[in-house]
Amino acid sequence: MTENDINQLIERQMHEWPFAAQQYEALQQTQCRELMVDGSVYRIQYNPARAVSSGAKVDKATLAKRPCFLCDANRPSQQEGVAFGADYKVLINPFPICPKHLTLPTVTHTPQSIGQRFGDLLDATKALPSYVLFYNGPYSGASAPDHAHFQAVAKGSLPLEQQWDSIERRPLQQIQGASLSYMNRALCPVLRIDATNKEAAEQLFATLLHTLEIKDEEIEPRLNLLLWWNNGAWVVWVFPRNSHRPECYFEEDELYRRMISPGCIDMAGLIVAARQADYEQLTEEELAQILREVSLDAAHFFQLIIQLKKNHD
Ligand SMILES: [Zn+2]
């Protein structure tokens, strides 16, 4: 798979799949506004088509009953896939958040997990240098936690791409070909791996994955990953998460309910509001509270940093 194959796929699908073409057309008309939170600009996008995902029930019983939309057998006949290696396909996402929005599901129906697939995610990132790749963990925004997949959007789509690149980071671990650092932000702490060597990136990520806490009966730590390839090196942002959805998502009083269901795109500064009231009424204070609740809290993040430093010394 080359990036050219993908650009041609997008072009073909816009001609051959009217539903998807209509969704991408509608995306151009979406309203956006900005909020300043924790020193960063967050863009709020009113995107009613995303109600399917923002409102998705992801409990085991619901998943078992619904036909999986990432399995070949259940996908719309017009949705074409391009092979990425033997194990993945590249599809266009028919409910886009950004002008070029891809989904990369595994060929087989198997649970979302990153431990054995981080190397594949690095490969996909290198193969698509004009894109930002991302991974939503099974408890952190994936709307199909039962079917492994990555996603990608065109570079330049997410507000924090540029903003965060310039923020100072503190070093944690350094090995030949890769380094691990962190940014100490008040609301959503974040770690970063910079790597020129794939094995070195995998080694640092494995260390991080094993240091992060796993909640009862879950298969991996709660997290989102955001990656890009730039000048011969990978950049990997890791957002450790506390919860998938904030309390206000479940609020019974309609006045205070905010159906914001953050995945990686939201953590990277593009907040998707599927309901008009949420889009219009969301305040800076509410957004700060949402980001604080869904991110790993400061005390646990501090413990993580200490642990990672200790492992290295
Ligand atoms: Zn499936």
- Taking the C-alpha atoms of residue 236 and residue 123, their distance in angstroms, rounded to an integer, is 13
Q: Output the CA 72–ligand 1 centroid distance in Å.
A: 8
- Burial (CB count <10 Å: 0-12, 13-18, 19+), residue 307: middle
Mean pLDDT over 6-19 rounds to: 97
Q: Output the CA 223–ligand 1 centroid distance in Å.
A: 21
- Taking the C-alpha atoms of residue 313 and residue 303, their distance in angstroms, rounded to an integer, is 16
Q: Is the dihedral of CA 29, 30, 33, 39 positive or negative?
A: negative
CA dist list (Å): 313 to 136, 194, 200:
31, 20, 17
Mind listing the pLDDT tens digit for each residue in 213-270?
999 889 999 999 999 999 999 999 999 999 989 999 999 998 889 999 999 999 999 9
29-79+110-155+170-312 — its CATH code? 3.30.428
**Amino acid sitting at position 294:** V
Q: What is the pTM of this model?
A: 0.95
Mind listing the pLDDT tens digit for each residue in 110-164?
999 999 999 999 999 999 999 999 999 999 998 899 999 999 999 999 998 988 8
Q: Output the CA 188–ligand 1 centroid distance in Å.
A: 31
Q: Output the CA 135–ligand 1 centroid distance in Å.
A: 16
Q: Output the CA 55–ligand 1 centroid distance in Å.
A: 19
Domain residue limits, the chain: 29-79+110-155+170-312
